[in-house]
Amino acid sequence: MSKPVRLASFCRLCLVKSNASKVSIFEDQSGALQDLLKLIELEINATEEPNAVVCFECVVTLEGFQQFKEQCHTNDEFLKTVPPAGEEDAASCASSELSCHFLEDDPIASEEEGDDDDVGLEILNADSEPEEGLVLDEEEVCDEPKAKKAKVARKKSVPKLDLEEIDRQCKEHNIKVHRKVEGPTLDDLQVLKDSYPDYFYFEKGTQARYYKLVYYGERFHVSNFTERYTYWMCMHRKKRNCPAQICVRNDYGDFERRHEHNHEELKEKEGKAFTPRQALPELFEICRSRVMHKTAMRRKKILERKLKELEEGPDTDEEANSKPSAGLKRVLRQSGVMDGLEESDGDESDEWNE
C-alpha cells in the first residue's frame, strides 16, 4: 500500500502553497487550533494527515470568525430583552436609547461606501458611555402616542473580566495559563521616541473617531493589536477584498509590507494630519486595552476548559496518546507566526483560545 501524499507545503484550508509561515494543526497541546476548526465543521484525521498545516491568513480569519460568532450571540441575547410592540411599556423606548455593541476587533469600512469616518478603533475609556450601535427609536418599536412614554432601563454593560481573580482561581487549581514572554514586552515597546521616520504619519477626519495610518502615501486602518505588533489593513479591504497589510512593531520603528494591493490606485479622502508623537499615545492606550482584554478572555476560557476536564476525570490512554505534544503558542513562535497571534499582559503570556 502506497503512502498517502503529504502536502505540508500547502495550507490545509485555502490550499495555497507559499513560503510564508504555517502552523502545524496537530502540534498543539491545548487543542486551541482544533477548536477553531470545529467552527467551520471541519475534521482532519491526525493519522491520515499528520503534517497538515494552516497558513497565517487562515488562522487570523478563524480568530475573527470566532469573535464575530460570540458577538452575534451577545447581540441576540440583548435583542431578546427589547419589549414587543404590543406591550404598553414599549411605547416609550425613545426616552432611553437602546443600544448594543457590534464586533469591535475588525471595524472594516470602505471610503467608497461612505464610511470613511467610521474606520478604525476608538480608545477605550472605562468611565465613558457605551458606544452607540443599534439604536431603536419610538417609531421602530411602538405605534402608540408619545404621551404614554415610560422609561425603559438601559442595557447593563457587560462586566469587565477580572484578570487577578482568574489568575487566583488558576493558582488555586494548579492550572497553568501563562508563561514567560520571550523578547520585548508591550511596556518595552510602547515608549514614545523623540523623532520618527517621515515616511509615515496618521490622519483623522473632521468628524471621525479613529486614526488611519498613512504609509508612503497609502492609507490603512487598524485590524488587530498584539503584544509586539499592530496590523494595519488596506482601506478598501472590504469593498475590493484587498489583502494589502502592514505589520508594524509596537514601537513603530519597524514596518513590514506583507501583501500588495489587488486594485488600481483609488481616490481617497484626506483627513487632518497628525505626527506620530501626537497620535501614538492614544494608539498605545488602545493597544494595551485590547491586549489585556484578550488576555483575560483567553485565560478565562482555558480555566473553564481545565475545570471541566477535572470534573470529567482523567482521559483514557488512547485519548491521551491522540492529543498533540506541543502547545500552539510554542509552534507559532518557532514558525515565526507568533507575533501575529500572541496576546499577553506584560511579563506573562497565555494560551490562545480564539
Q: Name the binding residues for Zn(2+).
A: 11, 14, 55, 58
Can you tell me the distance from the alpha carbon of 29 to that of 48, in angstroms, rounded to the nearest whole number? Answer: 19
Burial category of 182 from C-beta neighbours within 10 Å (exposed 0-12, middle 13-18, buried 19 and up) = exposed
Numbered residues of the known binding site: 11, 14, 55, 58
